[in-house]
Structure 1
Amino acid sequence: MGEFRGLLIPSLCFLFGAAAVLSELACKDSHSGPTYESLQSVFDKKPFRPATNLSNPTVTNISFTLYAVLGVNEKSQILTTFLWLRLYWYHEFLQWDPEKCGGITKISLPVEELWMPDIIVYEFIDEDKSQRCPYIYVNHTGQIRYDRMLRVLSSCNLEIFNFPFDVQKCSLTFGSYMHTIRDVRVSLALPIEQISENSKKYLETSGEWELVKIQGETDILKFGIDEWDIITFWVTIKRRPVLYVVNLIIPSSFLMLVDIMSFYLPPHSVDRASFKMTLILGYTVFLLIMNDLLPSTANGTPLIGIYFSVCLALMVISLLETVIITYVLHHSAMKYRPVPRLVRVMVLGYLARLICYTRPPSQPETPSNNITTDPQEKMKNVEVSQASPELQQICRDLGMVRAHIDSLRLQQDLEEEWIHVGYVLDYLLFRVYLVLITLYALVITCMWCIWYNL
């Protein structure tokens, strides 16, 4: 091993020393451009970094254009983009004088014949299957330009709480895979503002996603004692929510509007319960259909999914309230049972004042036990007791009729009181519906304004 190292180091020194002497490529008068022999000598040095002094790092300038956002997979936390990547670096062995080479200042050479910096995207999580450009451009000063199309599947922390008005910020980190900061340095080929403007120009006709801005910064990545030079680009994109507003929010708003209007049906009607059951069934079918449009992650649930669940819960609560009221009003045992004191105080007292419920005025009650309180009535009773048996029988029959009428009136009063309890609960739930839907409309409007102003 020592003998091999002793032979390798002098050979490398001789090789790069010769390259330093032959800093310019040879040209012939009959040829335009460098000769094949001089280029072949450069091709033979492909395994080595093109620097006459290996202590000087090779600077690689990077720029790209975000051409398309192909997809965002919220469940797998993957962002798929399509980039036009452009790299610049200097090849110190590829230099010639244009005046001696027929005025040629730029030539194209095969990629596989020259050394290239191993620049990768650190967030890349899949095999690179994008098409490679087989040629590179070489300037007479030794500057190399390499263009390629890059389909990037990168990991990104996607936030879906504000869906479909969400804004995603993902990073694309470019740097060398093997060469440390002593061998390869990276820098920007274009200003960040120009990269962002070029990307916006090509993304104007894209589908679901819209580019907001691109930010970038250089940094040094450390692993142990080694350091790598990197550039991190922050790509901010926002979703166009028109598709989801039309397919999710508007149909749900229509169904909720129908459910709100159902509160105007009388609570003691059996048709109201069947109508609400049909409406819940329709809303459940709607949730099953829109389940494919909602993103799903293990980190959280979008706000619109919470809203759909709350709407379904309110519809179920309104159905249960209708069932309870129907049971109370149609059950024979409830008709003769007075309203409990706690229910009367809480529902007909506090809740009625809270929702500003006004009870309609009732008819003056006719007392059923004041027959013998009036002196004139006493005299009539005495006279009736002294009358004939037929008249006494008629009086007893009239008393029974009056008692029956009083019992019917008492039953009607109890039924009306239970109906008022149902009306108070109906009005309360109706106002809760209106408050929640109004709050949600304000939240959607604010989110839309924030999305629009980005």
Structure 2
Amino acid sequence: MAEVKPAELIFTCFMLLHGFVAALNCTSPTPESLFNALESELSTKKLTRPVKSFSRPMNVSVAITVVGIIGVDEKSQTLTTVLWQVLEWDIEGLSWDEKECGTNRVSVPREKLWVPDVHISEFMDEDKSPKTPYVYLYNTGRVFDDKPVRVVSSCRLEIYTFPFDIQSCSLTFGPYLHFATDIRMVQGATPGETLQESREVLETNGEWELADIDIARSSLVLDVGKYSEVKYCIILRRRPVPYVVNLLIPSCFLITVDLFSFLLPPQSVDRSSFKMTLILGYTVFLLIMNDLLPVTGETTPLINVFFSISLALMVASLLETVFITNIQFSSTQYSAVPHWLSVLVLQYLAVVVCIPPVKKSNRITVFLKPSTEDSAMNTNISSISVRDFQSVSNDTDDSVKPRPAPPEPTDLTLDELRKLSRDLMAIRLQVDKHFHGSKTSQEWQMIGIVIDRLLFGLYIIFISVSFITIMSIWIRNNSYAA
């Protein structure tokens, strides 16, 4: 093998490098000279992909910077953002010498170059951003295309944890027509660099804040071919403070007031009117704040469930107050408590709400009724008394002239005794009926007290669980690692 001299090797490398760099011949380092050379060179490269072989794919680098987050529409499931989109690709065979032509880059009208058809797959509306007519062309053949893009993209929004929700929306960049064998998408910057630059230039400070950005290369495989794509996953976090102040805190205040209304006497009419006023105020509050709640046809937010259960508990407490008030004033007219209801409420639910079960009374009420023997005895007594009285009168009248007989005192006494017995019997029957009715009334009233205590306990459990759930979701939202 022949030995290659160092001088020849250096000369060969210099000629190759000179041929690569100085593909364009500039007569002078002036813009006119460079533009004339570019005009003749680019006229043949803007119709097709600027590659030396059709079998070679062109690498297109894509990078974005999130400039603004305009809004998230939960109803239409769209995300509106403003991006700086940077595309870079190489025109093979195009280069010039910086010293010979006077510059290492020049701005060229976009229409003078072949531009890749890179688009965003999630586009839902027309791009209304201002158009940039120029791109940068470097002396190495590198094209730098930087332009603003207003993106209205589709995004699957999960609002179950509203207003503590974190949304993940993707923006997929890829060619519209060219397959992966023609255009291969390449990631431009790392996720950390993209996130840091986006936070530095982010102009909006509204409802949403940028939490994280993730980048991944992917491929879309269809029957006609395979497409190369770069997917940017933009993670947004909602600022919940306005919703906590305007929705949750007033609602919690009203529920707490309704909770303390259980301290009012249940038989008082003021308690019912107080609860009706609270329900009316809570309904007006929900109507006013309805515009702040998200509306979707797929998922019901947890906060809507919270409001519905709160309103249901308020209505249940009002119905329970009406029931107890009715028992207090009309329980004497009710029939006896059914056995199953008495066992369920007074024996089991009473233990659950920490009320000792009511023990049955051992007192036996005896109803006095006139028997046949008492009637016969009274009749015999009456007949004996009358007969004895007549016999005594006959013995004394043998020696005395008969005089007019005065009214028999025995008959009057017996009549008065009979009337007094009937009155006492009626009084006793009324007393027994009163005691029997009082026992039924007491059972109904006890049932009302147990139900009142049970609903009070449910209120406390609901408020505690709601508070713990809200705080847990809020803490998890704030501790999300960006």
Q: TM-score range by the shorter chain?
A: 0.7 to 0.9
Q: Write out per-residue CA displacement over residues 319-342 of structure 1, whole angstroms, 9 at most, x where no aligned residue.
A: 22222223333337x446333322
* Distance across 2 between alignment mates of 1:28 and 1:228: 43
Equivalent residue, structure 1, for 2:82: 82
Q: Write out per-residue CA displacement over residues 150-181 of structure 1, whole angstroms, 9 at most, x where no aligned residue.
A: 11111111111111111111111001111222
Worse-superposed segment, 439-448 or 195-204: 195-204
Equivalent residue, structure 2, for 1:442: 468
Specify whether residues 108 and 231 from structure 1 end up closer, same or farther in structure 2 by C-alpha distance, changes over 3 A only.
same
Equivalent residue, structure 1, for 2:175: 176
* Distance across 2 between alignment mates of 1:55 and 1:40: 26
Specify whether residues 128 and 362 from structure 1 end up closer, same or farther in structure 2 by C-alpha distance, changes over 3 A only.
same
**Percent of pairs identical after alignment?**
42
Q: Which amino acid aligns with 1:440?
A: S
Whether 2:328 is the aligned partner of 1:326: answer no
Specify whether residues 53 and 421 from structure 1 end up closer, same or farther in structure 2 by C-alpha distance, changes over 3 A only.
same
- 1:32 Cα shift? 5.1
Equivalent residue, structure 2, for 1:117: 116
1:341 pairs with one of 336, 339, 342: 339
Specify whether residues 258 and 364 from structure 1 end up closer, same or farther in structure 2 by C-alpha distance, changes over 3 A only.
farther
List aligned pairs for 1:190-229, cutoff 5 A.
190-203=189-202, 206-229=205-228
Equivalent residue, structure 2, for 1:356: 354
Larger radius of gyration: 2
Specify whether residues 336 and 290 from structure 1 end up closer, same or farther in structure 2 by C-alpha distance, changes over 3 A only.
closer
Whether 2:463 is the aligned partner of 1:451: answer no
* Distance across 2 between alignment mates of 1:218 and 1:151: 23
* Distance across 2 between alignment mates of 1:28 and 1:450: 66
Specify whether residues 258 and 363 from structure 1 end up closer, same or farther in structure 2 by C-alpha distance, changes over 3 A only.
farther
* Distance across 1 between alignment mates of 2:365 and 2:330: 27
Runs of 5+ in structure 1 lacking a partner? 1-19, 372-381
List aligned pairs for 1:202-351, cutoff 5 A.
202-203=201-202, 206-331=205-330, 334-335=332-333, 337-351=335-349
Q: TM-score, normalised by structure 2?
A: 0.79
Specify whether residues 26 and 273 from structure 1 end up closer, same or farther in structure 2 by C-alpha distance, changes over 3 A only.
same
Specify whether residues 60 and 34 from structure 1 end up closer, same or farther in structure 2 by C-alpha distance, changes over 3 A only.
farther
- 1:35 Cα shift? 2.8
Equivalent residue, structure 2, for 1:95: 95
- 1:400 Cα shift? 6.3
Q: Which amino acid aligns with 1:350?
A: Y
* Distance across 2 between alignment mates of 1:399 and 1:30: 134
Contact (CA 8 Å) 1:42, 1:93: kept in 2 or not?
Answer: no
Q: Which amino acid aligns with 1:121?
A: I
Cα RMSD between the aligned structures? 3.1
SS in 2 for 1:35: helix
Q: TM-score, normalised by structure 1?
A: 0.83
Specify whether residues 336 and 293 from structure 1 end up closer, same or farther in structure 2 by C-alpha distance, changes over 3 A only.
closer
* Distance across 2 between alignment mates of 1:21 and 1:38: 16
Equivalent residue, structure 2, for 1:377: none
* Distance across 1 between alignment mates of 2:29 and 2:239: 60
Specify whether residues 30 and 437 from structure 1 end up closer, same or farther in structure 2 by C-alpha distance, changes over 3 A only.
closer
* Distance across 2 between alignment mates of 1:179 and 1:340: 81
* Distance across 2 between alignment mates of 1:47 and 1:446: 59
SS in 2 for 1:96: coil
Contact (CA 8 Å) 1:329, 1:335: kept in 2 or not?
Answer: no
Specify whether residues 95 and 336 from structure 1 end up closer, same or farther in structure 2 by C-alpha distance, changes over 3 A only.
closer
- 1:51 Cα shift? 2.3
Equivalent residue, structure 2, for 1:57: 57
Q: Write out per-residue CA displacement over residues 2-44 of structure 1, whole angstroms, 9 at most, x where no aligned residue.
A: xxxxxxxxxxxxxxxxxx9997222123625743321221342
* Distance across 2 between alignment mates of 1:42 and 1:226: 32
Q: Write out per-residue CA displacement over residues 401-442 of structure 1, whole angstroms, 9 at most, x where no aligned residue.
A: 676566545544443332221110000011111112211111
* Distance across 1 between alignment mates of 2:71 and 2:31: 47
List aligned pairs for 1:10-159, cutoff 5 A.
24-29=23-28, 31=30, 34-45=33-44, 46-92=46-92, 94-102=94-102, 104-159=103-158
Q: Write out per-residue CA displacement over residues 338-381 of structure 1, whole angstroms, 9 at most, x where no aligned residue.
A: 3332222111111101111147999997967699xxxxxxxxxx
Worse-superposed segment, 274-283 or 58-67: 274-283
1:428 pairs with one of 430, 454, 468: 454
Specify whether residues 22 and 47 from structure 1 end up closer, same or farther in structure 2 by C-alpha distance, changes over 3 A only.
farther
Q: Which amino acid aligns with 2:469?
A: V
Worse-superposed segment, 201-210 or 440-449: 201-210
The total of aligned residue pairs comes to 421
List aligned pairs for 1:375-394, cutoff 5 A.
none
SS in 2 for 1:69: strand
- 1:204 Cα shift? 8.0
Specify whether residues 303 and 286 from structure 1 end up closer, same or farther in structure 2 by C-alpha distance, changes over 3 A only.
same
Q: Which amino acid aligns with 1:356?
A: C
- 1:399 Cα shift? 7.5
- 1:396 Cα shift? 7.8
* Distance across 1 between alignment mates of 2:38 and 2:84: 29
Worse-superposed segment, 246-255 or 26-35: 26-35
Contact (CA 8 Å) 2:29, 2:99: kept in 1 or not?
Answer: no
Contact (CA 8 Å) 1:368, 1:403: kept in 2 or not?
Answer: no
Specify whether residues 366 and 203 from structure 1 end up closer, same or farther in structure 2 by C-alpha distance, changes over 3 A only.
farther
